């Protein structure tokens, strides 16, 4: 029998921007979120799925909580998918302008991808989400975090950092991954009445 997913969620991330986005997504669905900050080592692996699986193996949610982890990155096909799983490191070292310089003279297509994973009882669920777009010529906008100022979602003139936060959240790779988790949880059987 499948256990029913707890409505209390411990989100393991050190990124305040991610926490705000995920809380805004999950609260209307009746979930309460605890920020489990700095409780995980960031594993090094070559795919987002492997990073998420490794994180799920480390988490120690409290009794009655569901653990949520997520890993994301910006993938640029003209750079062989770089920075991908190395996005946090590249953002810290080269920054948004450094990435723009790397892509000069090449096709500017880019994709944000995220994998979200939850664990409760012995159950684990992983779902992926992505959003296609391109790299702007330079950083624009004050919203969001990370590479938001240089990412133009397909068909949009504003970067993610120029969009109102609710709109970025609605269109983001992270929302899509988490919506996949919510759909899978929605397929769980309702709790048996005593
Ligand atoms: P991680 O998922 O915490 O390993 O972070 C990956 C890195 O990718 C972040 O530090 C950001 O630089 C970038 N990134 C991931 N998601 C987003 C996003 O939604 N907007 C902007 N940058 C992001």
Question: 3-class DSSP state for residue 72?
Answer: strand
**Each residue's pLDDT tens digit, 64-94:** 999 999 999 999 999 999 999 999 999 999 9
Note the pTM of the prediction, 2 decimals. Answer: 0.92
The string of pLDDT tens digits covering residues 96-116 is: 999 999 999 999 999 999 999
pLDDT class of 3 with cuts at 50, 70, 90: low
Whether the pLDDT of residue 1 is over 50: the answer is no
Which string of DSSP letters, residue by residue, matches 117-164?
Answer: EEEETTEEEEEEEEEEEEE-SS---SSSSTTGGGEEETT-SS-TTTS-
**Which residues have CB under 6 Å of ligand 1?**
15, 71-74, 87-88, 91, 112, 144-148, 160, 172, 174
Query: Tokens in use for 34?
Result: 């605890």
The closest-lying atom of ligand 1 relative to the alpha carbon of residue 51 is 4
* 14 Cα nearest atom in ligand 1: 3
Cis peptide leading into residue 83 (ω within 30°): yes
- Ligand 1 centroid – CA 84 distance (Å): 9
CATH number assigned to the domain with residue range 8-184, chosen from the 4 options 2.10.109.10, 3.90.950.10, 2.60.40.1220, 3.40.50.880? 3.90.950.10
Q: Which residues are within 8 A (CB) of 123 and not within 5 positions of it... i.e. 6 or more apart? A: 2, 3
What is the band of 41 on the pLDDT scale with cuts at 50, 70, 90?
Answer: confident
User: What letters, b where the CB count within 10 A reaches 16 and e where it falls short, cover 78-103?
Assistant: ebeebbbbebbebbeeeebeebbebb
Estimate to the nearest angstrom the gap between the alpha carbon of 177 and the chain centroid: 7
> Which residue matches tokens 């705000």?
20
Q: Provide the CB-side half-sphere exposure for 81 (13 A, CA).
A: 8
Whether the predicted pLDDT of 192 surpasses 70: no
């Amino acid at each position: 029998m499948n256990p029913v997913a707890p409505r209390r969620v411990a989100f393991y991330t050190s990124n305040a921007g991610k926490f705000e986005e995920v809380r805004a997504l999950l609260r209307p669905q009746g979930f309460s979120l605890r920020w489990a900050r700095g409780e995980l080592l960031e594993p090094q692996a070559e795919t987002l799925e492997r990073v998420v699986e490794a994180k799920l193996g480390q988490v120690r949610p409290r009794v009655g909580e569901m653990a949520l982890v997520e890993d994301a990155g910006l993938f640029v096909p003209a750079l062989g998918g770089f920075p991908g799983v190395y996005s946090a490191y590249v953002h810290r070292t080269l920054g948004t302008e450094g990435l723009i310089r790397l892509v000069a003279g090449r096709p500017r297509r880019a994709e944000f991808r995220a994998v979200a994973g939850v664990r409760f009882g012995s159950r684990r669920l992983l779902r992926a989400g992505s959003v296609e777009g391109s790299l702007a010529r330079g950083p624009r906008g004050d919203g969001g975090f990370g590479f938001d100022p240089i990412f133009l979602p397909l068909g949009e003139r504003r970067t993610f950092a120029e969009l109102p936060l609710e709109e970025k959240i609605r269109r983001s790779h992270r929302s899509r991954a988490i919506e996949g988790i919510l759909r899978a949880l929605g397929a769980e059987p309702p709790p048996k009445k005593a």
